Structure 1
Amino acid sequence: MLRRIESVLWCIYSITEHNALTCIMNIVVFYGSQTGTGEEFANRLSKDAQRYGMKGMAADPEEYDMCELSRLAEIDNSLAIFCMATYGEGDPTDNAQDFYDWLQESDGELNGVNYTVFALGNKTYEHYNAMGVYVDKRLEELGAKRVFDLGMGDDDGNLEEDFVTWREQFWPAMCEHFGVEASGEDSSIRQYELKEHNDINMNKVYTGEFGCLKSFETQKPPFDAKNPFLAPVIVNRKLNKAGNRHLMHLEVDITGSKIRYESGDHVAVYPTNDTAIVNKLGQILGVDLDTVISLNNLDEESNKKHPFPCPTTYRTALTHYLDIIHPPRTNVLYELAQYATDPKDQENMRKMASSAPEGKALYQSFVLEDNRNILAILEDLPSLRPPIDHLCELMPRLQARYYSIASSSKVHPNSIHICAVLVEYTTKTGRLTKGVATTWLKNKLVADNGHKSTVPMYIRKSQFRLPFKASNPVIMVGPGTGIAPFMGFIQERGWLKEQGKEVGETVLYFGCRHKNEDYLYQEDLEEAEKTGVITKLNVAFSRDQEQKVYVQHLLRTNKEDLWRQIHTDNAHIYICGDARNMARDVQTAFYEIAEELGGMTRTQATDYIKKLMTKGRYSQDVWS
């Protein structure tokens, strides 16, 4: 059930009644978040408000009736902040989809509503910060008043630095705009208080569930982000024949779950942290990880009662709920600095949280470039030993990981296939860092000591779809694990042929390092070409010869066929894989083909490809 904006207003009214003679600013921070960063920034801004003698709260737009946004104008000195991430090809995040739809359809008046927007995106993507830019523009069109400039965060650069810089300019401007004086409060402000449960029925303790207690024991559809399905692993095999990397193919069983998916969709999985790292954290902080605790919000009016499901144990929180592997953001360092007994450590931690050039450089080198997670920081700063409950309060939530589904439900209605590469590397400090999700997936054996391994999962629908008319040609470009969705596409095109449908040309451009090492699904692809499901299989082996060959080179080699398929036969183009280099280079290759064979200028070629995107004939499923 949607909360009414009235619940936000009631919270604000209750504050102003007790401070009738005080000028208080009231802030609601709405967030659109897919990976948790937007929500994290919203929480930081709402917590910041307390330092300025204001009242703030973070709010998920999915949980509120945004039609009542105009009612914020009834409150003096109120402000709506929107931390809006962009997902996929310029799309809103799942939790901001309804808000986006409302903005598009609304003709309501937002006169008197003060707002500002911080956008989260990645410059390597075609539609950089599209959602944040749209929200900023649309709110103004509806009559709301922009009180501070749109902030643009770039995850391809340094998103944290972008946010800190914007935030440090934002707060003084707000104080001046609304005539509020900063309180000068610079010490840590706790949002939650610790309660230890010494005598509790363990049936009332969360053990990794995300929504209802015991939901993993009594699985009931529908399954979604708050109620994932525990899918048994039925296949887990290594894909590459040789080399020092580990590329894997997993299959999970969804029989009886009523889960439906289509080729091109994503499967979201909830990983857990490495047990060894969790144990080391407990050891270094000197705590019993099996202590049952609750962290309760000190603000009783807040709709967020706990930072993660409570009551639970420290072990469960650190294993299932908290992100302890990513380098901590600057606000975490700032909050923890007070616990460092060495004044130099304390000074450096606070310096890293500032927007001063020296502080930015120190954070960049010590935390980001050296890739120090919270355990590494505790190991390298022996004077820093914070209370574990404060650490748990500050750590962001461990997020679901999304994988392009490598199967078609027409062929595999009761299973979902995943293709992934193990992330593993040594940092500058000599520490071996392992990807949370891929390490966890690698260790998901089909049968582990007689027990079935399971993966908590749900489906995220995608716009990455085969053409409605099977007779349209498809051109698929997917090097490495970018092959994943195309395995589903190929299976589906084969199934359509078996049904007697007219199926257009199916062309694949795949790339890998060595033919005898990491040619993924080689037998399946060659069999599909042999049976005519794949019309033409083009494979670029980048390191089998002196001069590297990539998929974009093969596109140029086959330019005449490609131009005919695109310009004459209405082919649909699909790109999957790396956004930073591959997707950009592939797009440039298509520009060049349009220039040469279409007689276009670069501007015309760019417009031509953009029109294909608008028509849904040039789709990308990319990551950076």
Structure 2
Amino acid sequence: MNFVVEENRCITPNSKDKSIFYTTFSLPKESDEILEYQPGDWLTIQPQNSPQMVSALLAELDLTGNESIELRRSGLVTVQQALENHLELTQLNPAILNKLQRQLGLGDWADRQAMMDYANGRDILDLLALYPQLKAQGVEFLNWLSPLSPRYYSIASAPIASASNKQQTVSILYKAVKYQNLGRQRFGVASNYLQDTQPGQILQGGLKPNPTFKLPEKASTPIVMIGAGTGLAPFIGFMQHRAIQQAAGQDLGGALLFFGETYQQTNCLFCDEFRNWQKQGLVETFYAFSRDQADKVYVSNRLLEQGDRLWDLLNNQAEFYICGSQAKLAESVKDALMRIFQQQGAMSEEQAQNYWRCLKQEKRLQMDVY
């Protein structure tokens, strides 16, 4: 599926710690397809590896790029094409280490977890630095590599009311991934590719349903949205959809947003929009900006402050949504909610765990974490 870039805008231009973009796509004018999606679904983007990464790997393998290679999914392509469009270069798949250990006797990792720990934060150039003897394989070395997979992004918009309108758009929110590791600057393959795109440029991707992250069937059901950073994305779509429902005269349940970022002045994502939605009675917001004061304040702190209210909402069949980092957000949010269950519901730790599982089984607790 082809998408046309309508807008690619950095919404944190003055931030000193991150660059977050809001990008909107449409379909090509000549397309017969329709953008069919629901708030909470995913947009996939098929990225391309950076020219710098491709050139570095060609140099390491002493290749020109004009050589040919047969790829299982793509057929006969040049090495240049394979490295640019078809092979994973910026992430080291632990499965590669497993194959090298089994077939060539390279490495002494005890188990898969050890391989995963080693591969984390490393790329294919790191693998060649570890085992320089692999460079002599030339083109054959590429057969060890994994296919370049599409990247999933939570959709940060809601479809407009008329599904027949070919000018529908779909938007995403993403952070430009950039970090130092082992003395070298690293970039996320998809975010690096996306941040350089210009209006009118065509990208390949797709729309994927997310059946486990959906607004309630009844608009009158209360909702609680919990996110941090780009985990705000699906909640933008939720709010756009609620605005459409309100305009149509539907009876809406209450909505609470708990959102965390680092600095309010530079990283308050979509704060103006949420302020307007709050004025319209569509949502009530609770923010946690961790670095605006000496004592760090996180989303989990805001949840605990509203523990009695959240418990009342749970007893009124509210549905909870958590979106963001598994390690940084989801675990701390679960800990906070478990404390609320125990304090407000007079539960033991085991009872709180069972209640958590029950909420997930009933789809009253939905998670989109990464």
Relative to the length of structure 2, the TM-score reads: 0.90
Structure 2 residue runs of 5 or longer lacking an equivalent are none
Instruction: State whether residues 254 and 416 of structure 1, in contact with CA within 8 Å, keep that contact through their aligned partners in structure 2.
Output: no
**Between the two proteins, what is the percent identity of the paired residues?**
28
Mapped partners of 1:276, 1:412: distance in 2: 43
Q: Tell me if 1:330 matches 2:61.
A: no
Q: How does 1:62-73 map to 2 (within 5 A)?
A: none
Amino acid at match of 1:498: A
> Cα distance, 1:333 vs. partner?
4.0
Deviations 1:359-408 (A, max 9, x none): 997x789x547x44222443566554233331121111111110100001
Amino acid at match of 1:270: Q
Structure 1 residue runs of 5 or longer lacking an equivalent are 1-228, 296-305, 338-349, 447-451
**Aligned match of 1:588:** 335
**Aligned match of 2:169:** 415
Mapped partners of 1:589, 1:356: distance in 2: 36
* Aligned residue among 5, 11, 27 for 1:239: 11
Q: Tell me if 1:504 matches 2:253.
A: yes
Mapped partners of 2:129, 2:214: distance in 1: 47
Mapped partners of 1:397, 1:573: distance in 2: 36
Amino acid at match of 1:415: T
Mapped partners of 1:603, 1:590: distance in 2: 14
* Aligned residue among 197, 204, 208 for 1:444: 197
Q: Tell me if 1:278 matches 2:79.
A: no
Deviations 1:563-618 (A, max 9, x none): 11111x21110000111242122122222222222222222222222222111111
Mapped partners of 1:608, 1:244: distance in 2: 38
> Cα distance, 1:546 vs. partner?
1.1
Mapped partners of 2:124, 2:102: distance in 1: 13
Decide whether aligned partners of structure 1 residues 407 and 259 sit closer, same or farther in structure 2, where only a CA change above 3 A counts.
same
**Aligned match of 1:470:** 219
Mapped partners of 2:180, 2:162: distance in 1: 38
> Cα distance, 1:288 vs. partner?
2.5
Decide whether aligned partners of structure 1 residues 585 and 389 sit closer, same or farther in structure 2, where only a CA change above 3 A counts.
same
Decide whether aligned partners of structure 1 residues 600 and 332 sit closer, same or farther in structure 2, where only a CA change above 3 A counts.
closer
- Give the secondary-structure state (helix, strand or coil) at the position aligned to 1:560: helix
Decide whether aligned partners of structure 1 residues 239 and 336 sit closer, same or farther in structure 2, where only a CA change above 3 A counts.
farther
**Aligned match of 2:81:** 316
**Aligned match of 2:319:** 572
**Aligned match of 1:405:** 155
Mapped partners of 1:320, 1:517: distance in 2: 35
Mapped partners of 2:113, 2:22: distance in 1: 40
- Give the secondary-structure state (helix, strand or coil) at the position aligned to 1:385: helix
Instruction: State whether residues 308 and 317 of structure 1, in contact with CA within 8 Å, keep that contact through their aligned partners in structure 2.
Output: no
Larger radius of gyration: 1
Amino acid at match of 1:322: L
**Aligned match of 1:387:** 137
Mapped partners of 2:181, 2:270: distance in 1: 31
Q: Tell me if 1:252 matches 2:25.
A: yes
Relative to the length of structure 1, the TM-score reads: 0.54
Instruction: State whether residues 411 and 491 of structure 1, in contact with CA within 8 Å, keep that contact through their aligned partners in structure 2.
Output: no
Which 10-residue stretch deviates more, 588-597 or 488-497?
588-597
Q: Tell me if 1:456 matches 2:204.
A: yes
The RMSD of aligned alpha carbons is 2.4
Task: Work out which structure has the larger RCO, using CA pairs closer than 8 Å and 6 or more positions apart in sequence.
Answer: 2
> Cα distance, 1:307 vs. partner?
2.2
Instruction: State whether residues 35 and 169 of structure 2, in contact with CA within 8 Å, keep that contact through their aligned partners in structure 1.
Output: no
Decide whether aligned partners of structure 1 residues 531 and 273 sit closer, same or farther in structure 2, where only a CA change above 3 A counts.
same
* Aligned residue among 227, 230, 248 for 1:481: 230
- Give the secondary-structure state (helix, strand or coil) at the position aligned to 2:75: coil
